[in-house]
């Protein structure tokens, strides 16, 4: 995918089983135009090949954090934000 | 106010408890929880566990959970230590210690912090079993345990 | 099954917890409570506390309470240490430590044992305050805490 | 009170504030005839002078154990039993 020069980007991190499934720990993703949210980034990721559409298929259990705080699909995004996707946590 | 550490090294529960009482005469109650690696999970033998975490967010998440506990109960001090990296069965994973004037608050807050930590702090467990390595699945029982506190009330 | 001690000497909470986990790989959770002497009670300053007990019955009462806890929850081990004699503010009075596979049982049993101990184990506290020495009055809140478990059910 | 020779006795212990109020830690008390219970021993103690009738006056909060197990007024007694009276406990 050609990186749009100067396009506004967010840093996307993947953790645990999701990182392994996608074979990707970190990437820069251009923000969709308009009022971008976590949901709109997800749509972009789903549009990619099988691994991505599968990992984020409806019904899959995953969580999202924005700038290190738990977030959800409606959370708005701005350039430079850190978005993290990960499976439900299992600490403690 | 809360003392939070995320570390690979083991911790000493006795020292963490002493840190809450040393030189103080206002502490009436200390409730402590220690979680350990078991050699069995979901019916399979576990030979080793590896904890992954989200550096930076983990500490913030734990501090936020402790702050919420302090908002709900009259607490004196809170300490949370969570280990990451490879752990063997029998080793301690996490400690939550809470001090207060009376036992009711200390018990409730300690259990609250553990229940929220289990569903909101970004840690993930990977287990080595005879059938190979697997990521531990989140338990619905943990979601239910956390849901008990949802109403924002004090007692579960 | 339970380990019960009534003693004048201080105890080491870390060692008591270690005794529950040492060399074991089946313990997933240890819930511990430590009660300490506070320098205030009912609005008065407390300079010293003296614990009286009923030698013989105290140990039996604590063992019976631990046995009841083991009947109600799936526990691995239970330890109760209660001190007697003169104690200064800041000193530990009692420890209850319970181990189990999962945290829910350990937390419930630990709180149950403390609530029952407060109303059924024959100890009596005498306090030295500026207004003189007095026997501590039993608290209705302790009776209520114990009553929560009356129905014989698991969770409070 | 003349000790009835050969009468059946129980050992009675008093603890904490009750011991201090009665200025008595331990005594042997003859069992009343018939089917003696804790209640019948209490009646005997109440029949004594002011300190005793006051300590066990109705409404006073006290507990009783027989042979080191919590008991109540109805608990039956037999010779040689150990009966303990004490204020509500305040340990922990």
Residues 6+ apart with CB under 8 A from A2: none
D83 close contact with C: CB closer than 8 A:
no
Within 8 A of D84 by CB-CB distance, chain C residues are 54, 57, 122
Mean pLDDT of chain A: 92
Q: Which two tokens stand for residue A92?
A: 């403690």
Which pLDDT band holds residue A3 (cuts at 50, 70, 90)?
low
Predicted confidence (pLDDT) at residue D3 exceeds the cutoff of 60: no
Chain C touching partners, 3 or more CB pairs below 8 A: B, D
Beta bridge partners of C83: C7
Q: How far is Cα D54 from Cα D51, in angstroms, rounded to an integer?
A: 5
A38 close contact with B: CB closer than 8 A:
no
A25 close contact with B: CB closer than 8 A:
no
Percentage helix, strand, coil, to 5, in chain B? Answer: 35, 35, 35
Shortest distance between the Cα of B101 and any Cα of chain A, in A, equals: 26
Q: How far is Cα B117 from Cα A70, in angstroms, rounded to an integer?
A: 13
Q: Which of C12, C16, C20, C36 to mutate to test the interface with B (most CBs of B within 10 A)?
A: C36
Query: Cβ separation of C28 and B36 shorter than 8 Å?
Result: yes
Count Cβ atoms below 10 Å from residue B103 Cβ, excluding itself.
25
Mean pLDDT of chain B: 95
Interface of C with D (CB under 8 A): 35, 51-54, 56-57, 60-61, 64, 82, 93-94, 114, 117-126, 135-139
State residue A54's pLDDT score.
93
Compute the Cα dihedral for B93, B99, B102, B108 and give only its sign: negative
Helix (H, G, I), strand (E, B) or coil at B60: helix
Q: Which two tokens stand for residue C130?
A: 């500026």
Task: Using CA coordinates, name the residue in chain C closest to B24.
Answer: C90
> What are the helix (H) ranges across chain A?
16-22, 38-46, 50-55
Considering only the beta carbons, identify the residue of B30, B34, B145 that sits closest to C30: B34
Q: How far is Cα D89 from Cα B68, in angstroms, rounded to an integer?
A: 35
Q: How far is Cα D36 from Cα A54, in angstroms, rounded to an integer?
A: 80
Predicted confidence (pLDDT) at residue C115 exceeds the cutoff of 70: yes
Percentage helix, strand, coil, to 5, in chain A? Answer: 25, 25, 50
Q: What percent of chain D has pLDDT over 70?
A: 93
Shortest distance between the Cα of B25 and any Cα of chain A, in A, equals: 31
Cα–Cα separations (whole angstroms), residue A51 to A31, A32, A38, A59: 21, 21, 19, 15
pLDDT in tens, C34-81: 999 999 998 999 999 999 999 999 999 999 999 999 999 999 999 999
Please tell me the least confidently modeled range out of A59-63, A79-83, B2-6: A59-63
ipTM score of the complex?
A: 0.92
Cα–Cα separations (whole angstroms), residue B16 to A77, B4, B77, D64: 40, 11, 11, 40
State residue C156's pLDDT score.
53
Q: How far apart are the first and last CA of chain B?
A: 24
Query: Cβ separation of C103 and B89 shorter than 8 Å?
Result: no
Q: How many CB pairs under 8 A join C and D?
A: 75
Within 8 A of D89 by CB-CB distance, chain C residues are 118-124, 138
Count Cβ atoms below 10 Å from residue C27 Cβ, excluding itself.
24
Chain D touching partners, 3 or more CB pairs below 8 A: C
* A60-84 b/e (C-beta count within 10 Å ≥ 16 → b): eeebbbbbbebbeeebebeeebbbb
State residue B73's pLDDT score.
98
B43 close contact with C: CB closer than 8 A:
no
Which pLDDT band holds residue D5 (cuts at 50, 70, 90)?
low
Predicted confidence (pLDDT) at residue D25 exceeds the cutoff of 60: yes
Q: How many CB pairs under 8 A join A and B?
A: 74
pLDDT in tens, B15-72: 999 999 999 999 999 999 999 999 999 899 999 999 999 999 999 999 999 999 999 9
């Amino acid at each position: 995918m050609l990186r749009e020069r100067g396009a506004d980007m967010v840093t996307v991190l993947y953790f645990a089983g999701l990182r392994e499934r996608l074979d990707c720990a970190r990437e820069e993703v251009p923000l969709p135009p308009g009022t971008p949210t976590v949901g709109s980034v997800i749509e972009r990721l789903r549009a990619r090949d099988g691994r991505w559409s599968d990992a984020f298929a409806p019904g899959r259990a995953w969580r999202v954090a924005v700038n290190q705080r738990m977030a959800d699909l409606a959370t708005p995004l701005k350039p430079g934000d850190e978005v993290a996707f990960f499976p439900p946590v299992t600490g403690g | 106010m809360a003392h939070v550490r995320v570390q690979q090294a083991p911790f000493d529960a006795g020292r963490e408890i002493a840190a809450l009482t040393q030189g103080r005469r206002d502490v009436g109650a200390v409730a402590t929880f220690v979680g350990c690696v078991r050699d069995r999970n979901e019916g399979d033998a576990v030979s080793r566990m590896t904890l992954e975490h989200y550096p930076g967010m983990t500490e913030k998440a734990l501090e936020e959970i402790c702050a919420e506990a302090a908002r709900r109960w009259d607490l004196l001090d809170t300490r949370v230590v969570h280990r990451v990296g490879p752990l063997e069965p029998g080793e301690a994973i996490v400690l939550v210690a809470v001090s207060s004037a009376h036992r009711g608050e200390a018990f409730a807050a300690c259990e609250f912090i553990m229940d929220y930590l289990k569903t909101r702090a970004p840690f993930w467990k990977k287990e080595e079993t005879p059938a190979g390595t697997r990521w531990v699945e989140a338990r619905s029982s943990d979601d239910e345990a956390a849901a008990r506190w949802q109403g924002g009330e004090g007692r579960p």
